[in-house]
Chain A
Amino acid sequence: MKKYKKPSLFLLVICMFILPFLLNSYWLDVLTLVLFYVVLTQGLNIVVGYTGLLDLGYAAFFAVGAYTTAILMTTFHWSFWLTLPVAFLFAAIAGVIIGTPTLRLRSDYLAIVTLGFGEIVKILATNLEITGSASGIYGIPRPAIGSYIMASQKDFYFLILIVAIISIIAVYRLGHSRIGRAWVYIREDEDAAEAMGINRIKLKLLSYATGAVIGSFAGSIFAVKMSAIAPLSFSFLQSVMILLAVVLGGLGSIPGVVIGAALVIILPELLRGVEDWRYLIFGVSLVIMMIFRPQGIWPTKNNTEDVDDIETEDPNQSISISK
């Protein structure tokens, strides 16, 4: 199996580059959305999957990226590419701001604090003058490469595809680095990790910040693709959908969360006509998933990310930080 892994991955990437020429614009849009979710889920995967910190306000980082780019491009007429580092910086700061007070909290408190932060960001976006209040920001200019202005559907598809690939590689490399192993260690047993000399606080903050930067990357591209953004796109439900994709696919598993992202976006498209049912179906599937297959559709097979542990008998010995 293993020797086919690289060629098949390569083939998949080639297919992804050819696909837009074969699809109609409707499915191209759906696929673009899937790729946005792939980027977002990779970011959340670092926080929830690797480090085991449940974040219910992840859409806030998506919002930070989108609004930073939107404001800099409309009010200050920056180039899109220049707004990216600023968006990353703001997102990292936001990640640290959210992370710092939650460091000492147990996982369930952590969940609710991140949820509260997510709501606060949404309320700020709805009420502040600079973010265009409830109607949001519109007329965001298109990004340009040299003299070529990216405007077509395909342009944005390729842009987000490249970002998705970069983020997957980055998250994969991070997961297999010293930092990634430390994150998993913190997830598995925080006290033991600390006893082994892992700087718990620094690494948790790093996890938040990295996740935030990836989320904001998706947000920045979202802003220029849509050319209009409104607070509604960054609601709690958005955070839940991203989390759902990560959980369905398999916490900490890169191919898993890619599949999860695809499922979460494509399934509702296939279920058109019974649209009202989709969140109900998602809710029920979350419950069923947790009861019968908590490790997700495509769990990690890595030794360091022990799947069996998720079914541990002792509630205190968990992947959460509930010690």
Chain B
Amino acid sequence: MEIFFQVLIDGLVIGAFYSLIALGYTMVYGIIKLLNFAHGDLYMIGAFVGFTLLSLFTGDGGVNTGILGLGVVFIGTMIIVGFLGMGIERIAYRPLLLAPRLSILITAIGVSLSLEYSSMIGWGASYKVYPIKLPNDGIQLLGTQISFAQMGMIVLSALLMLGLRLFIDKTIYGKAMRAIALDQTACSLMGVNVHRIIALTFFIGAFLAAGAGIMSGIYYGTINFLMGFTIGLKAFTAAVLGGIGNITGAMLGGLVLGILEAFGTFYMGGSWKDVLAFGILILFLVFKPTGILGAKEMERM
């Protein structure tokens, strides 16, 4: 039973990362129906920017960064990467908003390659060790050791998701996003600055992905310029699992996938866990493309 909870906690932490990234996918998809292949790479950039900031922040490699310093690094990184996300939308996607799907998908692959290999050039191809070490102590709960770091990550992710939910439900910008998702043309006729709202969506998606990036850097200890590829694919799986375009669905999908994968790894071994995730993705796309919470969208495909 202890093992069960241990695996569950691991799954929850990884699932929280998936959820945060899946949110970006699902928001962008919901608003402009674009599958942003480069989104996983924003997570990677987040991890690297956080790495650089942490190293800068404390000359000694960041080992002694306090909670306050860590907070500043988090916010700084998320804002920087958020603007990067906006920039990508402005340069690469906006000119193609009216172009055929195939063109914009290929563009997204190009953006993904560009991000990956520019960070390889910038930060190097080798694995980087994250300049921070969190204390291992924690509390015993139901016979399981849960570290404060794990708890902190789950809480932080939950707060971010709650914040997003409130932002989308309560603010005028959130309302505009929901409206654009429904009918872009009508929105622009009603005086909504569609481009600005789309840019904001990209900002938020990148912002959340960057947060997940730093957290996973701290959690796993090492980062690499290709780390965004697989996790991006899995976050997309999570978004599909929950129902693409659905915010709550993305959160739920991420957690479900994280937990499934943790148990899958535990019972089948680590080398098959990616097959499990992609298998789930394919099964869902084939049998229930609308996901667990997806809207009943009647679409002739």
Residues on A facing B (Cβ under 8 Å): 48, 52, 54, 56, 101-102, 104-109, 111-113, 115-117, 119-120, 123-124, 126-127, 191, 236, 240, 243, 247, 251, 276-280, 282-287, 289-291, 294, 310-315, 318-323
Contacts and interface: CB of A to CB of B under 8 A. Distances in A.
B120 A276 contact: yes
B241 interface: no
Given A116-B233, A315-B99, A283 B111 contact: yes
Interface stretch (B102-110, B140-148, B168-176): B102-110
A283 B289 contact: no
Interface of B: 33-35, 91-92, 95-107, 109-118, 120-121, 125, 229, 233, 236, 240, 271-272, 274-275, 278-279, 281-282, 285-286, 289, 299-301
A112 B92 CA distance: 20
A32 to B, nearest CB: 25
B101 A277 contact: no
Contact of B35 (A108, A278, A315, A321): A108
19 contacts: A104-B286, A105-B289, A112-B233, A112-B285, A113-B282, A116-B278, A120-B274, A120-B275, A120-B278, A236-B229, A247-B106, A276-B120, A279-B120, A282-B110, A286-B109, A294-B100, A310-B100, A318-B99, A320-B105
Looking at A102, A243, A279, the one whose CB has the most chain B CB atoms below 10 A away is A279
Contact of A283 (B102, B114, B275, B301): B114
Given A106-B301, A247-B106, A323-B300, A123 B271 contact: yes
Looking at B106, B114, B229, the one whose CB has the most chain A CB atoms below 10 A away is B106
Contacts of B96: 290-291
B282 A319 contact: no
A101 B285 contact: yes
Contacts of B285: 101-102, 105, 109, 112-113
B35 to A, nearest CB: 4
Contacts of A101: 282, 285-286
Contacts of A284: 110, 114
Contact of A291 (B92, B112, B240): B92
A290 B110 contact: yes
B106 A290 contact: yes
Shortest beta-carbon contacts, A-B, top 3 = A286-B110, A283-B113, A318-B100
A279 B113 CA distance: 7
Contacts of B114: 280, 283-284, 287
Nearest to A292: B95
B301 A315 contact: no
A273 B95 CA distance: 33
A323 B100 CA distance: 11
Contact of B109 (A119, A243, A251, A278): A243
Contact of B113 (A54, A124, A286, A314): A286
Contacts of A280: 113-114, 117-118, 120-121
A119 B276 CA distance: 11
B205 to A, nearest CB: 16
B188 to A, nearest CB: 15
Contacts of B120: 276, 279-280
Nearest to B102: A320
A291 B103 CA distance: 8
B69 to A, nearest CB: 32
A286 B289 contact: no
Contacts of B98: 313-315
Given A277-B121, A291-B107, A310-B103, 16 more contacts: A102-B286, A105-B285, A106-B299, A113-B282, A119-B274, A123-B274, A251-B102, A283-B109, A283-B113, A283-B114, A283-B115, A283-B117, A289-B110, A290-B107, A291-B95, A294-B103
A74 B34 CA distance: 46
Nearest to B277: A116
Contacts of A310: 99-100, 103
A291 to B, nearest CB: 5
Contacts of A124: 275
Looking at B100, B111, B271, B279, the one whose CB has the most chain A CB atoms below 10 A away is B100
A276 B121 contact: yes
B102 A52 contact: yes
Nearest to A127: B271
B101 A322 contact: yes
Contacts of A113: 281-282, 285
A112 to B, nearest CB: 6
A283 B105 contact: no
A26 B243 CA distance: 51
Contacts of A106: 101, 299, 301
